[in-house]
């Protein structure tokens, strides 16, 4: 492992004013997104859609540091035969790859999941590196409910995240470590805080046990946020203040950067929350975005599967990328949204 090179890539991922495009939806997930816009999900339509995003030159040049890809996309070619990975590289962004293989039910823990995909991971990482991937992603999923999460679910998922991270670094690939505490329930922000604290503490404990070099990774966490069905919704300032306090308590300063998931927040909420955190300032790490839905909902709607809408889709994507870039510097303002509409 060459730690200096890993650190260089990690710092590039969180370079000032830039963040990640999470375009790594599995075939099942992208079908759900396409169903919502009445587009049939085929190899070709998935390619056309992602090619539209990666050819958004302003967004890709100025606001996007890297793209997380799904295996199918990683090996796909644009309509003119250029590999999509090459398109991303040519835009100045770094190609990355989702390497987990989704979740399975966790035995003896009803309602809980464990992320799988460690078998043969070393071989897969080698192929992805040769194909141009310089970072990877693994997502663990922790749900909040009356009796959950159990410590068992937190431990097995943290263990797998650390196993993945260690294998990535051995393959000279920067691991994005994503322990996602879901915002699906009716819990309040303090319950999310408490669960996320346990999850992050366990994850960093496992990373240390498995000798992962913190300087060569990126953390992709959820924010401290109430469940979508919570009766107690709170201000952007409270989410920002609690998330920053939580991260300061759990994340070592050696980590080069933190890139949040959007997790089901609306486009503007995800931007406003990131912005409010960066307004607080004085943090040991850059805070930026690694958004899937919050960057893509608008371009998906504008595109709607029609070749004639590609320019509109690219405009919508560029707008969201620019808004989140500003938020990563604490320079976003709500009235910038209206001006662009």
Nearer to ligand 13P, 176 or 212 (CB): 176
CA angle centred on 286, ends 314 and 10, rounded to 5°: 80
Under rule CB under 6 A, residue 292 binds ligand 13P: yes
CB-count burial class (<10 Å; 0-12, 13-18, 19+) for 317: buried
Instruction: Find out whether the peptide bond into 149 is cis, omega within 30 degrees of 0.
Output: yes
Tell me the residue length of the chain: 341
Cβ atoms 217, 257 nearer than 8 A: no
Under rule CB under 6 A, residue 299 binds ligand 13P: no
- Of the residues 51, 112, 178, 180, which is catalytic? 178
> Is 178 a residue of the active site?
yes
Rounded distance between C-alpha atoms, residue 136 and residue 156, angstroms: 20
Q: How far is the CB of 182 from ligand 13P (least distance, A)?
A: 10
Q: How far is the CB of 261 from ligand 13P (least distance, A)?
A: 4
Nearer to ligand 13P, 25 or 206 (CB): 25
Q: How far is the CB of 168 from ligand 13P (least distance, A)?
A: 16
Under rule CB under 6 A, residue 263 binds ligand 13P: yes
Q: How far is the CB of 220 from ligand 13P (least distance, A)?
A: 7
**Nearest one of 88, 94, 115 to 173, comparing CA atoms:** 94
What SS3 class is residue 67? strand
Under rule CB under 6 A, residue 46 binds ligand 13P: no
Which one of 134, 202, 293, 320 is in contact with ligand 13P (CB under 6 A)?
293
What SS3 class is residue 192? helix
> Is 220 a residue of the active site?
yes
**Nearest one of 279, 291, 277 to 320, comparing CA atoms:** 291
Site string for ligand 13P, 16-35 (x = CB under 6 A): ------x-------------
Cβ atoms 332, 287 nearer than 8 A: no
Rounded distance between C-alpha atoms, residue 151 and residue 170, angstroms: 29
Q: Segment near ligand 13P (CB under 6 A), from 27-35, 155-163, 257-265, 317-325?
A: 257-265
Cβ atoms 168, 126 nearer than 8 A: no
Q: How far is the CB of 278 from ligand 13P (least distance, A)?
A: 18
Under rule CB under 6 A, residue 88 binds ligand 13P: no
Which one of 12, 133, 261, 323 is in contact with ligand 13P (CB under 6 A)?
261
Nearer to ligand 13P, 251 or 261 (CB): 261
Under rule CB under 6 A, residue 262 binds ligand 13P: yes
Distances (CA, A) of 321 to 240, 269, 277: 20, 14, 17
Catalytic residues: 178, 220
Residues near ligand 13P (CB under 6 A) are 22, 139, 178, 261-263, 291-294
């Amino acid at each position: 492992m060459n730690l200096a090179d890993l650190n260089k890539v990690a710092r590039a991922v969180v370079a000032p004013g830039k963040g990640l495009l999470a375009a790594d939806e599995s075939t099942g997930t992208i079908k759900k997104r396409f169903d919502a816009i009445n587009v049939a999900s085929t190899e070709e339509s998935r390619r056309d859609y992602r090619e539209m995003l990666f050819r958004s030159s302003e967004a890709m040049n100025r606001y996007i540091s890297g793209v997380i890809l799904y295996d199918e996309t990683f090996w796909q070619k644009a309509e003119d035969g250029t590999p999509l990975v090459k398109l991303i590289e040519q835009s100045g962004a770094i190609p990355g790859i989702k390497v987990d293989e989704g979740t399975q039910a966790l035995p003896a823990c009803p309602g809980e999941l464990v992320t799988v995909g460690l078998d043969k991971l070393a071989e897969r990482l080698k192929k992805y590196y040769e194909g141009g991937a310089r970072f990877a992603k693994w997502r663990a999923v922790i749900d909040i409910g009356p009796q959950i999460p159990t410590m068992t679910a937190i431990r097995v998922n943290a263990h797998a995240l650390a196993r993945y991270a260690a294998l990535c670094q051995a393959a000279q690939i920067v691991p994005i470590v994503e322990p996602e505490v879901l915002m699906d329930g009716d819990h309040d922000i303090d319950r999310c805080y408490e669960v996320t604290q346990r999850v992050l503490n366990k994850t960093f404990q496992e990373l240390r046990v498995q000798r992962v070099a913190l300087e060569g990774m990126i953390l992709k966490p959820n924010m401290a946020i109430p469940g979508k069905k919570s009766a107690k919704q709170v201000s952007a300032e409270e989410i920002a203040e609690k998330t920053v306090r939580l991260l300061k308590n759990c994340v070592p300063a050696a980590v080069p950067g933190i890139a949040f998931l959007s997790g089901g927040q609306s486009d503007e909420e995800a931007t406003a929350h990131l912005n409010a955190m960066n307004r607080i300032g004085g943090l040991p790490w850059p805070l930026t975005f690694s958004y899937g839905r919050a960057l893509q909902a608008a371009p998906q709607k504008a595109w709607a599967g029609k070749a004639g809408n590609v320019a509109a889709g690219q405009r919508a994507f560029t707008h969201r990328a620019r808004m989140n870039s500003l938020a990563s510097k604490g320079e976003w303002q709500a009235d910038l949204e209206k001006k662009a509409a």
